[in-house]
Amino acid sequence: MNLRAAAAKIICDVMDGVSLADALPARSVQFNDSRDQAFLQAVSYGVCRGYFRLDAILKRLLDKPLKTKDQDIYCLMLVGLYQLTDMRVPAHASVAETVAATSVLKKIWAKGLVNAVLRRFQRSAQEINAEIQQHESAIYSHPVWMIDMIRQDWPADWKDILVANNQHPPFSLRVNQKNNSRETYLKKLTDAYLIPETQAGIVLKDATDVRQLPGFAAGDVSVQDGAAQLAAELLGVAEQERVLDACAAPGGKTTHILELMPRLEKLVALDHDETRLLLVKENLQRLKLTADIICADAGNVEQWWDGKLFDRILLDAPCSASGVIRRHPDIKMLRQVDDMVRLAKEQLLLLTALWPLLKPGGLMVYATCSVFSLENTRVLESFIAATPDVKEEKINASWGRECAIGRQILPGMHNMDGFYFACLKKMKKSFVRNDHAY
Ligand SMILES: C[S@@+](CC[C@H](N)C(=O)[O-])C[C@H]1O[C@@H](n2cnc3c(N)ncnc32)[C@H](O)[C@@H]1O
């Protein structure tokens, strides 16, 4: 197999709706050399990151569109263009290898086309680059609908958000403070610094294989972005409490909650994805922690709830993931504008279904890794309007931006992922508002 052909297949997978996190490992297994795997990763992430720019270039280089069955050749040309625009591979080698990949894809007829397109780009790069600068989608390499939504929600920040989304993310760690203080752990690393907004976060300047991290197997550290670490901190669990992590997989926040307070009465880690729950189990084992793992639809409470109220609930809701595009650039290709209303409905449904499970006086933390108000403040506005016994607890923090409801970290802010949090207190009966909507 040729690396460029494999990269083209990965991009095709993403165009067909498969996530990069699934497509890349599946197509990398055939390469044994770690340098080949690293090249494949760099190219496939790079093409997804630059997709809307590269696509605009390619459309200008082709005389007519390709047939649907030749999507692999289209993707191969994107791979070729990415090497010419963004990689330090000698241009002649990039072109030659990309053209050679047509045989591996069993499309020898496309040799001439791929060669002509890449050479045309080499001749007219300046002109084409100037032309695409007229289009925001190409300039920022995002779909138009996403740019419009981000601009509408964040009129003063939209450009910064789009630029941050195209940066490489930091390699962030969470020190297990049950095992060691982060200052002690920091000393074991070279070229690393604390994330001051968090209690346990560290950024390691150069990404590494997690197995090489000191004490990883022994559970001394986990990989987690700084913003994601704020969820468990906000939940603020106490001894002997009953806690629900309603959308738990792969367990980043479940394990953090338990590291902060191992002596809970119970922590239920719920998710409807059986395969992802295996990762929760794996993470708990490595960190020597325990939770009750349940595979069920959180919104279908009768299916799984034992009838005992929870002191705290974390709802890390399924969302567009528009705040973590720098880690998952394929989101720009996978997400469609029509997904947004469906997601907002699902988020409101989960909030509404889980609220009765919270004790009066209890706290629910609603979190998303989204920057869209549609999934954040607007979901909460609807929920609060329809729920008499809820009161927002304002988050007083040094990080992020205060919103009408909740608090938002924008991508890249404090070198963190984009995340949204709101804390909802369940009022005791005597304090329930009587201005609710029904
Ligand atoms: C943002 S991820 C959770 C990340 C996790 N909290 C962590 O920190 O590792 C959202 C999760 O919600 C799960 N999910 C989505 N809809 C669900 C539902 N109706 N019931 C239970 N889990 C659901 C997905 O399978 C996914 O694992």
Q: Write the pLDDT tens digit of every residue in 367-426.
A: 999 999 999 999 999 999 999 999 999 999 999 999 999 999 999 999 999 999 999 999
The tens digit of pLDDT for each residue in 294-339 reads 999 999 999 999 999 999 999 999 999 999 999 999 999 999 999 9
What is the pLDDT averaged over residues 228-253?
Answer: 98
> Which is it for the CA torsion 72, 78, 83, 86, positive or negative?
negative
Task: Indicate if 403 belongs to the active site.
Answer: no
Does pLDDT of 437 surpass 60?
no
Q: How open is the CA angle 415-420-423, to the nearest 5 degrees?
A: 130
pTM above 0.85, yes or no: yes
Strands (E), 303-417: 310-316, 358-368, 390-393, 401-402, 407-409
pLDDT tens, residue by residue, 127-156: 999 999 999 999 999 999 999 999 999 999
Banded model confidence at residue 245, pLDDT cuts 50, 70, 90: very high
- Rounded to an integer, the average pLDDT of 11-33 is 96
Distance of CA 173 to the CA centre of its chain: 16
Cα distance between residue 389 and residue 125, in whole Å: 61
What token pair was written down for 239?
A: 């001894």
Question: How far apart (Å, rounded) are the C-alpha atoms in residues 251 and 245?
Answer: 9
Residue-range domain boundaries for the chain: 3-134, 171-223, 226-437
> How far is 162 from 147, CA to CA, in rounded Å?
8
Question: What pLDDT sits at residue 433?
Answer: 59
State the average pLDDT over residues 2-11. 97
Each residue's pLDDT tens digit, 78-122: 999 999 999 988 999 999 999 999 999 999 999 999 999 999 999
Angle between the 71-86 and 51-61 helix axes, to the nearest 10 degrees? 110
CA of 316 from ligand 1 middle (Å) equals 7
pLDDT band at 429 (very low <50, low <70, confident <90, very high): confident
CATH of 3-134, one of 2.40.30.10, 3.60.9.10, 1.10.940.10, 3.40.190.10: 1.10.940.10
What letter represents residue 295's amino acid? C
> How far from each other are the two terminal CA atoms of the chain, in whole angstroms?
63
For 22, the enclosing helix (H) or strand (E) is helix 20-28
Q: Which CATH superfamily is domain 226-437 in?
A: Vaccinia Virus protein VP39 (3.40.50.150)
Query: Residue 252: CB within 6 Å of ligand 1?
Result: yes
Instruction: Find tokens 């970290």 and name the residue.
Output: 409
Neighbours of 261 (CB within 10 A): 19
Q: How far is the CA of 134 from the centre of ligand 1 (A)?
A: 39
Amino acid, res. 95: V
Which run of H or E residues covers position 245? strand 242-245
Q: Is 402 helix (H, G, I), strand (E, B) or coil?
A: strand
Residues near 438 by beta carbon (within 8 Å), at least 6 away in sequence: 386
Q: Whose CA is nearest to atom 11 of ligand 1?
A: 247
Q: Which one of 247, 319, 369, 423 is the catalytic residue?
A: 369
Length of the chain: 438
**Rg, Å, the chain Cα set:** 24
Q: Whose CA is nearest to atom 13 of ligand 1?
A: 247
Omega before residue 250 within 30° of 0, cis: yes
Of 227, 272, 276, 237, the residue nearest 258 (C-alpha): 237
Q: What letter would DSSP give residue 309?
A: P
Residue 278 has pLDDT above 60, yes or no: yes
CB-ligand 1 contact for 250 (6 Å cutoff): yes
pLDDT of residue 1: 77
Strand partners, 420: 368, 408
**343 CA → ligand 1 middle, Å:** 12
412 lines ligand 1 (CB under 6 A): no
Q: What is the CATH number of domain 171-223?
A: 3.30.70.1170
CA distance 226 to 196: 9
Of all protein residues, the one whose alpha carbon is nearest to atom 12 of ligand 1 is: 247
Atom 14 in ligand 1: which residue has the minimum CA distance? 247
Cα-to-centroid distance, 137 and ligand 1 (Å): 30
Residue 431 has pLDDT above 90, yes or no: no
For residue 350, the SS3 value is helix
pLDDT per residue over 34-89, tens digit each?
Answer: 999 999 999 999 999 999 999 999 999 999 999 999 999 999 999 999 999 999 88
Asked whether 232 and 208 are in contact (CB, 8 A), the reply is no
The rounded percent of the chain whose pLDDT value lies above 90 is 97
Query: Crossing angle of helices 20-28/3-15, nearest 10°?
Result: 150
Per-residue pLDDT, averaged over 159-165, amounts to 98
pLDDT score recorded for residue 432? 66
Residue 111 CA to residue 12 CA, distance in Å, equals 18
The pLDDT, as a whole number, for residue 365 is: 98
Average confidence (pLDDT) over 187-202:
97
Task: Please check the confidence at residue 434 and state whether its pLDDT lies above 90.
Answer: no
pLDDT at site 89: 86
